[in-house]
Structure 1
């Protein structure tokens, strides 16, 4: 009788359709549900300025104080599409994938792989406690003996082209594909970086506050098969 009941229950579960490649937004357009902020400056002043806000249906990184807005959940094997623009003076920002240990570097950056959004450098990889391999590694990262993932080492891997960004004030689309240990990045449909043998394959997703105001109107995740 117990075996029969187990079979019936199992058959019910197997009948539930599994939706693969179903896209969903990480931002609901109303509040920061599903995210939490890690902003060191707020440790001693919890009522201070918050660098991440919702404005006119968009998620906005005000740039200061510095910190990160991090998803509550971890993800692996997905495509992330982000639409963003600098609102005033262009500057620095980034999307971090496979984020884990908080404040791993400079008591600020979580252990992760950063996909650079800095104006005229969109698509660079920055290694933050994790590493990745690209083609033409020495020409894009410098001498091999200097490579590393901590302070003082060559953590930046230059992208394939700096001509993919839209004119200032216009929207950019950045697509990041994380498939197993590989990461690919497109900016406005142009492949700007590609790496393999990443030292991690899963983690949280984070947006930076790093000096410049940036608006995000789309943060869409699509699971990969």
Structure 2
């Protein structure tokens, strides 16, 4: 009888352990907002002009519970944490003139390009070109690479090289002033991008698979009302 009761206790203990692990895994998969609507906690600013101009304005602010990139002076807002294997859901709009911005994934070495851009892979948000890839001292492959990037001899991730990889669609963005939703999934060496539900880019064999996430100040005011990260283990759709 004692032996049976002992086994029962062990089994109960194992069940509790498994339940705890499952609960932790479940919690780890929950979506997390990367900004709190009040301040820039969890982020740091890298704006070169702020190094030398004491009264230079920080181009990243919280306004009406939105994260806003004022566009100038130019630079980046970078997460303190490093991430891998995630889905990033971003809702953004250009409230004024059409302009330029981007989400940088797998960011690492600061100011690796033009003494401004961190080593990373940019997912373009420029109005009319949302979903393009721009490689910044990193690289990624796509299907029909020559057609979408240009002659192979000119590819590269540094100054003067063909760093842009054109997206797959036209007219996926909403009219100026309306909210767009961009979904970026990064799993291992693959990146998939959707804009307003359209699959706009898919890359593989990326030269990096983890890093910080960064938002740009690149000359135009952009409002973000959502920047939500969810850990994932697989892409939502497999293209290859």
TM tier relative to shorter chain: over 0.9
2:60 to 48, 52, 55: 52
Residues 76 and 201 in structure 1, CA contact (< 8 A), matched pair in contact too:
yes
1:183 maps to 191
Q: Deviations over 1:44-103 (max 9, x none)?
A: 123321100000000000000000000000000000000000011111000000000000
Residues 105 and 111 in structure 1, CA contact (< 8 A), matched pair in contact too:
yes
The offset of 1:13, in angstroms, is 7.2
Given the alignment of the two structures, is residue 67 of structure 1 paired with residue 110 of structure 2, yes or no?
A: no
CA RMSD of aligned residues (A): 1.6
Given the alignment of the two structures, is residue 194 of structure 1 paired with residue 210 of structure 2, yes or no?
A: no
**How far, CA to CA, are the matches of 2:66 and 2:89 in structure 1?**
15
1:5 maps to none
Instruction: Name the structure where strand makes up a greater proportion of residues.
Output: 1
Aligned to 1:63, what secondary structure does the other structure show?
A: coil
1:134 to 142, 152, 164: 142
User: Considering only CA atoms, is the larger Rg found in Structure 1 or Structure 2?
Assistant: 2
| TM-score, with length taken from structure 1 | 0.93
**How far, CA to CA, are the matches of 1:46 and 1:179 in structure 2?**
40
| TM-score, with length taken from structure 2 | 0.87
1:115 maps to 123
2:114 maps to 106
Instruction: Point out where structure 1 has 5 or more consecutive residues left out of the alignment.
Output: 1-9
1:149 maps to 157
The offset of 1:21, in angstroms, is 2.4
Instruction: Name the structure where helix makes up a greater proportion of residues.
Output: 2
**How far, CA to CA, are the matches of 2:154 and 2:53 in structure 1?**
38
Q: Deviations over 1:185-222 (max 9, x none)?
A: 00000000000000000000000000000000000000
Given the alignment of the two structures, is residue 37 of structure 1 paired with residue 48 of structure 2, yes or no?
A: no
**How far, CA to CA, are the matches of 1:51 and 1:162 in structure 2?**
30
**How far, CA to CA, are the matches of 2:68 and 2:46 in structure 1?**
15
Residues 122 and 162 in structure 1, CA contact (< 8 A), matched pair in contact too:
no
Q: 1:179 to 1:44 in 2, by over 3 A?
A: same
Aligned to 2:49, what secondary structure does the other structure show?
A: helix
Q: How many residues align?
A: 217
1:219 maps to 227
